[in-house]
Chain A
Amino acid sequence: MNRIDQLFQNKQKDILSIYFPAGYPKLEDTLPTLQLLQDKGVDLVEIGIPFSDPLADGPVIQSAAKQALDNGMSLQLLFNQLKDVRKSITIPLILMGYWNTVYKFGVDAFLTECQNVGIDGVILPDLPLEEYQEEYKEKFEAAGVHNVLLVTPQTTDKRLTIIEKAASGFLYMVSTAATTGGALQASKEREAYFKKIAGLDIPSLIGFGIHDKTSFQHAASFSNGAIIGTAFIKALEKGNAAEFLESLQ
């Protein structure tokens, strides 16, 4: 069974997912960071594939991605680094990146590598749902790799119906109209949106703007859990990732 499905079967509340870019801050940090995240009780990890032009990301993730690229990170190198990851890491792993990188790598080769190293899902924000369904869905399903879809406060009800039907794994619920790394402000509209998504038949995690224990708990009260990216990258940069993860407990 796919580890993402297993996770949501065993745990419905307060799921903590952490995002960090591969090869950051140092090229060889990918595996040690994964080990730390697992040791500190993180439920799910999203490994960022660094890209030169990350449209949906704010300044912190952009510059982390750039640093990773300057370090020499690439998608092939990431798969090499992850070759034996399943000897030690048992939590579900997701690769998050932009479509150009995957397309250039070759979709079939990418999925084969995902299967080989034990990747459970991908998040590809700029691959449109329609193209995915027509061209790639069968391949992803055959490889047992979930394509996690995003919903946003701007997503219309009509589109939400389509996304719900096409979704696999869980829904990535973007908290607010912004790129990553903003602050999450509470509002009635936002809560109504969270509740609407939580009412769907598929689990959901809230991301964008979650940066500490308070915002995590707030977000997690409306969903199955939440995703932290920018705040964790800042902690990696400062060298206090372990303390940051403990502060979320």
Chain B
Amino acid sequence: MKIKVCGLKYSKNIKELLQLPIDYAGFIFYPKSPRYVGDEFDTEIPALFPKNTRKVGVFVNEELDVLLATGEKYKLNAMQLHGGESAEYCQKVKEAGFEVIKAFQMNDNFQFESLEEYENICDFFLFDTKTENYGGSGRKFNWKLLENYKGSIPFFLSGGIGAQDAEQIKQLSHDKFYALDLNSGFELQPAKKNANQLEIFLNKLELNTMNKDKYAVDERGYYGEFGGAYIPELLRKNVDELQENYLKILASEQFKKDYARLLDNYVGRPTPLTKAGNLSKRYGTNIYLKREDLTHTGAHKINNTIGQILLAKYMGKKRIIAETGAGQHGVATATVCALFGLECVVYMGALDVKRQAPNVARMKMLGAKVVPAISGNQTLKDATNEAIRDWIANPESFYLIGSVVGPHPYPDLVTRLQSIISEEIREQLAKETGNPNPNYVIACVGGGSNAAGAFYHYLNEKDVNLVAVEASGLGVDSGETAATITIGDIGFIHGSKTMLMQDEDGQITEPYSISAGLDYPGVGPLHAHLAVSGRAQFLSATDEEALNAAKVLAESEGIIPALESSHALAILEKMQFKKDDVVVVNLSGRGDKDMETYMKHFA
């Protein structure tokens, strides 16, 4: 449910509201309204709201050119047309680039058929109480009438909503109910809102979730200032198509059923949460390992590819494109393509093709075509560029990205698909210790998909410390590193605004780590946000430290971890824990693929 607060005017008052989850801010440009903003309304006032709050101008039968000029002047995003505006008029407003919210006044005689001609034009309807004066009555209409609305356009519910209505609103089950329009029910005087009262009300609706939503992606794909979709127009339609479909499909019963079934009987979930007894003794605390290494194909990557392949299938896609660094995501993609009988093309840096021969052979055996990326430095970043270029040239294909990177909606999509990790940790810990929350969750971060999955259900649990471990290669200051958050700054890579390793000229630099899965010069925008906001602690481990940690785990627990996961384990050496702490380390993958490296170092 979205929240619109309407009838705003005063900057001081607006500043009191900025902490509230307001999705739409309404400004009334109808001179007869007691909440009219006035002739000399300051253009800076709507801009007080953050970018993701849509600014709405409310008009009643205004001259079109006046309305458009006002929209331009105050940088409005949406127009609420509250009079008898025709469908043709709405069309013109729409064509000028504004979202159109057409208001209608409800009474027992309202003919819902009259909405039909507006259906293909307007973005939203707004149902208000019928009055003589175009709303503003402070009275509610009979909400039972909404049952007669069978149209396809989502609607705002308006008219006299007050603090006492929270329970009734929670009961509303209309599937097109989109937003609440709040105005006179929350005022100290006309156009001056009661911030406290609003906050209490939104809390009752369980919407005042600034803490909860602070780490969720907004509608335009931002986590705080990071994310978005910085893509060439050539990709716009592909990305739009995905943006429009992914949430719908992920929420569908069919998807949930298929995804759960495959995770259960193909991937081998739930994966165990192993209490590492010897490791716990060593570090004087309670260490649990989330065993993603025990999944089919040997790493968490498959959680994502199973989900995305279902998405591709429901979207009718026949050809799958993927990028891979070490080859783990490539193998996980080739696996699900084989399972679903879909064509699979995997781009892999030419250098990585040479370094990761066993995974190349696995992909080929699974029927995938492996294309060496010969541009740039011939590693993951270049493979990603090539995969995106393929997608530009073949817009009917599905790009199955391997981490929480790329343009919106990929970071959110992959995070959701990996969130099964923390979902299971919660259940397993609750059973084991009586408390679903540990004191620490530790995970390694390259692009950041296993960490995103391990953190997801703990993002709003303040008591859970989230620790992300980057690969610092030969050392953070050595010039041979992949510790993006530690040494990078804000930039744009693969369609996303995030933290990034780059030189002074804005050229993206080549990262280095002994672990091929962590040497990415960017990081998922969620992680950039977690780092900047301080929600997660970002540490790093060197090649050397990771190798030692791998050896410790092998010898003390009988588990050979992937080099990537070894970075997370390495941080145990550097942290101080209390005896009673519960520490979960996400063991993202198994070490079979890294045996050559281990043999070289431990021979």
Give the B-binding residues of A (Cβ under 8 A): 51-56, 58-59, 62-63, 66, 69, 74-76, 98-105, 125-128, 130-131, 134, 149-152, 154-156, 159, 161-162, 165-166, 174, 177-179, 182
Contacts and interface: CB of A to CB of B under 8 A. Distances in A.
Given A75-B505, A150-B233, A154-B237, A131 B228 contact: yes
Contacts of A55: 231-232, 385, 388-389, 392, 494-495
Contacts of B509: 52
A99 to B, nearest CB: 5
Interface in B142-192: none
Contacts of A52: 376, 507-509
Contacts, number: 120
B491 A103 contact: yes
A159 B95 CA distance: 10
A104 B375 contact: no
A98 B492 CA distance: 9
A177 B392 contact: yes
Nearest to A62: B375
B523 to A, nearest CB: 15
B229 interface: yes
A162 B97 contact: yes
B381 interface: yes
B230 A179 contact: no
Interface in B209-239: 220, 228-234, 236-238
Closest 9 CB pairs of A and B: A104-B506, A154-B237, A125-B232, A150-B233, A101-B506, A74-B505, A52-B507, A100-B492, A56-B232
Interface of B: 51, 75, 95-97, 220, 228-234, 236-238, 375-376, 381-382, 385, 388-389, 392-395, 490-495, 500, 502, 504-509
Given A127-B230, A128-B231, A149-B233, A104 B491 contact: yes
Contacts of B490: 103
Contacts of B385: 53-55
Contact of A75 (B229, B238, B506): B506
Contacts of A151: 233
Nearest to A138: B75
A152 B220 contact: no
Contacts of A127: 230
B506 A159 contact: no
A134 B507 contact: no
B228 A177 contact: no
Contact of B233 (A51, A152, A165): A152
Nearest to B495: A126
Contacts of B392: 55-56, 177-179
Residue among B97, B502, B509 facing the most chain A CB atoms (10 A cut-off): B97
Given A58-B389, A103-B491, A126 B97 contact: no
A190 to B, nearest CB: 15
A126 B231 contact: yes
A54 B395 CA distance: 18
Residue among B388, B393, B506, B509 facing the most chain A CB atoms (10 A cut-off): B506
A23 B446 CA distance: 34
A182 B394 CA distance: 13
Contacts of A98: 492
A140 to B, nearest CB: 15
A53 B233 contact: no
A62 B381 CA distance: 14
18 contacts: A53-B381, A53-B382, A53-B508, A55-B389, A56-B392, A74-B505, A76-B505, A100-B492, A104-B504, A150-B233, A152-B233, A154-B237, A155-B233, A159-B236, A162-B97, A174-B233, A177-B392, A177-B394
Given A152-B234, A154-B236, A155-B237, A126 B393 contact: no
Nearest to B504: A104
Nearest to A51: B507
A166 B233 CA distance: 14
A101 B509 CA distance: 13
Contacts of B230: 99, 126-128, 131
Contacts of A161: 95, 97
A150 B234 contact: yes
Contact of A177 (B231, B393, B505): B393
A127 B228 CA distance: 11
A154 B234 contact: yes
Contacts of B96: 165
A149 B238 CA distance: 18
A12 to B, nearest CB: 24
Contacts of B233: 125, 149-152, 155, 174
Given A150-B232, A154-B234, A105 B506 contact: yes
Contacts of A134: 51, 75
Contact of B505 (A59, A104, A156, A165): A104
B375 A63 contact: yes
A177 B495 contact: no
A75 B238 CA distance: 31
A63 B382 CA distance: 12
Given A100-B502, A128-B231, A152-B234, A53 B376 contact: yes
Nearest to A54: B385
A128 B237 contact: no
B44 to A, nearest CB: 13
A208 to B, nearest CB: 9
Nearest to A69: B507
A100 B75 contact: no
A125 B502 CA distance: 20
A74 B505 CA distance: 6
A166 B95 CA distance: 12
A131 B228 CA distance: 9
B393 A178 contact: yes
Contacts of A128: 228-231
Nearest to A151: B233
Nearest to B394: A177
A139 B214 CA distance: 30
Contacts of A56: 232, 234, 389, 392
A53 B382 CA distance: 8
A150 B232 CA distance: 8
A86 to B, nearest CB: 24
Nearest to B505: A74
Nearest to B237: A154
Given A59-B375, A100-B491, A179-B392, A126 B506 contact: no
A105 B504 CA distance: 8
A81 to B, nearest CB: 14
A159 to B, nearest CB: 7
Given A99-B230, A105-B505, A155-B236, 15 more contacts: A54-B385, A55-B389, A55-B494, A69-B507, A100-B502, A103-B491, A104-B505, A126-B232, A126-B492, A131-B230, A134-B75, A156-B237, A161-B95, A174-B234, A177-B392
A82 B375 CA distance: 29
B236 A104 contact: no
B234 A177 contact: yes
Nearest to B392: A179
Contacts of A53: 376, 381-382, 385, 493-494, 508
A37 B269 CA distance: 63
A58 B375 CA distance: 10
Contacts of B394: 177
B506 A103 contact: yes
A104 to B, nearest CB: 3
Nearest to A161: B95
Contact of A101 (B376, B388, B505): B505
B297 to A, nearest CB: 29
Contacts of B236: 152, 154-155, 159
Nearest to A172: B233
